Structure 1
Amino acid sequence: MRLRTALVGTTALGAVGLGLVVPTAPAYAADNACLAVEQTTPGTDTSRPSAPLAMLGVEAAQQHVARFGSSSGTPVRVAVVSSGVRFGDAGVIPLWSLKDLSGVGGDIVDPQGTEIAGLVSGVPRKDGQPVGVAPAAQIIDARVFVDSDSNEARERPAPATLAAGLNWVADEARPLNIKVAVVPFVVPDSQELRRAVKRLQDAGTVVVAASGDRPGEGAAFAADFKSPAAKDEDAGPLFFPAGYPGVVAVNATGTGDPAGALASVVKNSRTAVAAPTYDAVSYGLNEHTCLVQPTSTAAAAGIVAGVVALLWQRYPKERAAQIAARLINTADGTTDDPTPLTGYGIVQPYEALTRPLAPSRSGKVERTVEQSRPQTQAAAPEPADDLLASTREHAVWWGLIGGGLLVVVLMLRPVLARRRRA
């Protein structure tokens, strides 16, 4: 029985006294749930379409990139920093290179890395329905942990091991054109990890990270984390690399999930954007399509990483900050009022690709602000100087005098006439 994607395993946090109890989750046998798929699981595909991709209008976004995106140069590559990617002989995931930094090696038995890679760029199914958000992107497999095939808590890398993986990606970012790095789990803070994230960002890579899943029923959060029932729950100060500046921290919405989002995710004040994940289609360890269940911030990070890859394909000359700005400023929320569950909103791939934004090299987007005008009453204009006023005044007086004389003459005319007759 497989484990659900958890917050952080006890191995990763035990050294710093923040151990979490991560319970075994039920196997989702219905219609090939990805977490229940082993390499030996019978090779059948799910018949369902990817619900999140339909909700987000991903096919329209893919068509836009195919029409207007850059067709020259090196393909955009995405580093999946996780449990390893199984691509096998079927070629269902376009894997470019791999690096095992786990220190353990061996076969891939944890499905997380394969599931995330499939969400990023899994090839379409035989019926033409999409699987990956950016199927033209190529995957760089940076393996940093190995899960044992047991019912024990999933082992996560220590921050130092994750830092080593991110440092390797930073070293290869420019030579391999790694434009996106996705981390679908969380670990505690560390200076070494901070430096690795900063190096990767300085190399021009957009870092996308899960904001953190909720432990299953009966499990506990870290001792210094507020109760899940607390009104002011906030995973932001605890979970990394999602909590670092500049990292695109991704939460998941519960759209389509009977249990809702809060049964699987936590509130996180560092959330940048969100994406639906329930019933997304990806590839499992048996190289067949499967369904993403339950709701997962790890899967949401994979979907958003695919959207970022599409943006890089459309705008290959922009900087990482500009690409992130396009993603955030076109989400369906508002940049003035982010929330701990959806951040600036649910990603809108087609809007991100087509809205006429002009982010600066630092990622700043100028917004039109309505100018306020004083509410004052308009005054009547001052009359212009009348240059003929005196002339008109004299003419009036002469008219009056002339008119008076005419009246006198008319009155005296009969008198004068009688005098002449006499």
Structure 2
Amino acid sequence: MLGATTLTAGFLLAGLPTASADQVRDGQWANQYFNLEKVWSITKGEGVKVAVIDSGVDPNHPDLAGRVLPGYDPSGGGNEVGTSDPHGTGVASLIAGQGHGAGHADGVVGLAPGVKILPIYKMGTGDRDGIPEGIKWAVDNGAKVINISQGGPSTSAKETEAVAYAYEHDVLIVAATGNDGSSVGYPAADPGVLAVGAVSQDLKIWARSNFGQQVLLSAPGARIVSAGGCSGGQYCMGDGTSFAAPYVAATAALVRAKFPKLTAGQVAQRLVKSASQPAGAGKLPDERYGYGVVRPYEALTMDIPAGPAQGPLALPAGVKDGGSSPAASAGATAGGGSSADPGAGSGDPAAVPELKQSSSSTMPLILGGLGGVVVLLVVIIAIVVANGRRRNRAQAVPGQPGGPAPYGAQQGWPPAQQQGAPQYGQQPPPGYPPQPPTSYQNPYQGQ
């Protein structure tokens, strides 16, 4: 699974004789690509809550002090405050890390240090999958973006229902695609989720990034320095789509801070429209890069029409209309802004075309006598048939946007990485097994 142990193929810096604070910040090559000063001249994401469903987040890490809100553990064990497994802390630090020390110049800094993190543990009671419960709790507790750097080869009815719940409440779910170079895992593959692949420092796709038609964006995911207790230190370095997803989630939070009236789908629209297109890509979205590599500054400043409420997101199973929810409809009607209008914006509530019934003024009927009754009946039957065909077209085919879970039996997550946890009856596919996180020497030992 895309769990805390997917800090794969990492690199050690333990051999450096004099590790310094600068090495941590300088090691964050992605921040140089993002050009943080330009991004932060627009917003740091203040006022937005981002839920991190993962292994728990350490609220006492110096780079996350004051950024972590009370969270939720579906198992009731208090594991949302995680210190034993660094994965969740690392993911949170890429979103909301603020560094520490004089001028916050030391340690890890995230892309959106103004946001607050809602930490949610990934497992429920009895070691069952807690992510569906976590999604609903995040929605009910004010999250506007949910990051899930976890995954597996199948979905479940509870998961698809939870994704639909988030969509209908205008919350954007961002998820990692997977790390074994095969098809996109779940929940990234669930309709309604923004699936993210990983690129290396040359902005080429990372070799083990999972791919498929569900991929919408890619982001830095190789040689990523993050906060977390690796090998007794405070920092880790590793590869994986687990690290690409939080960069996209952070960008979404920045956009939600600047354009609060945009729907979740319209936020995704700004992200895909402003992404850097991959060299040599044909028709977009590309199955590896999606629409390209995320560009936060451009997402905040480009003149991009709000578009339909659904944006590029596939319609979740069970949701009948891309803009039917009260939150989505309100956002689409009010508009979400563009670089020309950084506030509310003019909006572009392009809706799904409705069947227009002719009025008596445009199609007069002679209602007198038997002939008129026959004509009226014919018109009524035609309208009923047209409406029925329209409803049939609206029911998506499995495997297509808006359809039911397309990849076979709906099952739970892979087994938890614990002994005596056979509850799901299947083993994770190659590429998902646990691997120990790589240590990044702590230059702040004892501080």
TM-score w.r.t. the length of structure 2 is 0.59
Q: Does 1:52 align with 2:18?
A: no
Residue 261 of structure 1, aligned match among 203, 206, 210 = 206
Residue 170 of structure 1, aligned match among 122, 139, 154 = 139
Residue 427 of structure 2 is matched in structure 1 by none
Residue 159 of structure 2, aligned match among 181, 189, 193 = 193
**Residues 31/335 of structure 1: CA separation in 2 closer, same or farther (3 Å cut):** farther
Residue 304 of structure 2, aligned match among 329, 342, 357 = 357
**Residues 24/282 of structure 1: CA separation in 2 closer, same or farther (3 Å cut):** closer
Q: Could you tell me how far 1:254 is from its partner in structure 2?
A: 2.0
Distance 2:307 2:123 in 1: 38
**Residues 125/241 of structure 1: CA separation in 2 closer, same or farther (3 Å cut):** same
Residue deviations 1:334-362, cap 9 Å, x none? 89422221111000111110001111341
The size of the alignment, in residue pairs, is: 298
Give the SS at the match of 1:272. Answer: strand
Q: Could you tell me how far 1:328 is from its partner in structure 2?
A: 0.9
Q: State the one-letter code of the partner of 2:86.
A: P
Q: State the one-letter code of the partner of 2:48.
A: V
Q: Does 1:113 align with 2:88?
A: yes
Q: State the one-letter code of the partner of 1:337.
A: L
Give the SS at the match of 1:332. Answer: coil
Residue 225 of structure 2, aligned match among 275, 281, 285 = 281
Distance 2:236 2:269 in 1: 30
Structure 2, unaligned runs of 5 or more: 313-347, 349-447
Distance 2:168 2:52 in 1: 18
Q: Could you tell me how far 1:313 is from its partner in structure 2?
A: 1.1
For 1:219-258, what aligned pairs fall within 5 Å after superposition?
Answer: 234-236=182-184, 239-255=185-201
Q: Is the 8 A contact 1:76 1:137 kept in 2?
A: yes
Give the SS at the match of 1:353. Answer: helix
Q: Is the 8 A contact 2:49 2:117 kept in 1?
A: yes
Q: Could you tell me how far 1:181 is from its partner in structure 2?
A: 0.3
Q: Does 1:272 align with 2:241?
A: no
Q: State the one-letter code of the partner of 1:54.
A: Q
Q: Is the 8 A contact 1:279 1:291 kept in 2?
A: no
Q: Is the 8 A contact 2:94 2:110 kept in 1?
A: yes
**Residues 289/312 of structure 1: CA separation in 2 closer, same or farther (3 Å cut):** farther
Identity %: 26
Residue 68 of structure 2, aligned match among 87, 95, 101 = 95
Q: Could you tell me how far 1:265 is from its partner in structure 2?
A: 2.0
For 1:325-336, what aligned pairs fall within 5 Å after superposition?
Answer: 325-333=269-277, 336=283
For 1:314-393, what aligned pairs fall within 5 Å after superposition?
Answer: 314-333=258-277, 336-364=283-311
For 1:33-182, what aligned pairs fall within 5 Å after superposition?
Answer: 46=24, 48-65=26-43, 75-88=47-60, 90=62, 92-93=64-65, 94-105=67-78, 108-126=83-101, 128-129=104-105, 131-145=109-123, 158=128, 160-172=129-141, 176=142, 178-182=143-147
Q: Is the 8 A contact 1:82 1:144 kept in 2?
A: yes
Q: Does 1:292 align with 2:270?
A: no
Q: Is the 8 A contact 1:51 1:278 kept in 2?
A: no
Q: Could you tell me how far 1:103 is from its partner in structure 2?
A: 4.9
Q: Could you tell me how far 1:28 is from its partner in structure 2?
A: 4.4
CA-atom RMSD, angstroms? 3.5
Q: Is the 8 A contact 1:123 1:135 kept in 2?
A: yes
Q: Could you tell me how far 1:270 is from its partner in structure 2?
A: 1.0
Structure 1, unaligned runs of 5 or more: 1-5, 10-21, 34-41, 147-155, 215-227, 229-233, 367-422
Q: Could you tell me how far 1:283 is from its partner in structure 2?
A: 1.3
Q: Could you tell me how far 1:97 is from its partner in structure 2?
A: 1.6
Q: Is the 8 A contact 2:179 2:209 kept in 1?
A: yes
Q: Could you tell me how far 1:282 is from its partner in structure 2?
A: 2.4
Residue deviations 1:79-137, cap 9 Å, x none? 00000000216362500221112455466311111000000000134465561100000
Q: Could you tell me how far 1:23 is from its partner in structure 2?
A: 9.6
Q: Could you tell me how far 1:59 is from its partner in structure 2?
A: 2.7
**Residues 298/364 of structure 1: CA separation in 2 closer, same or farther (3 Å cut):** closer
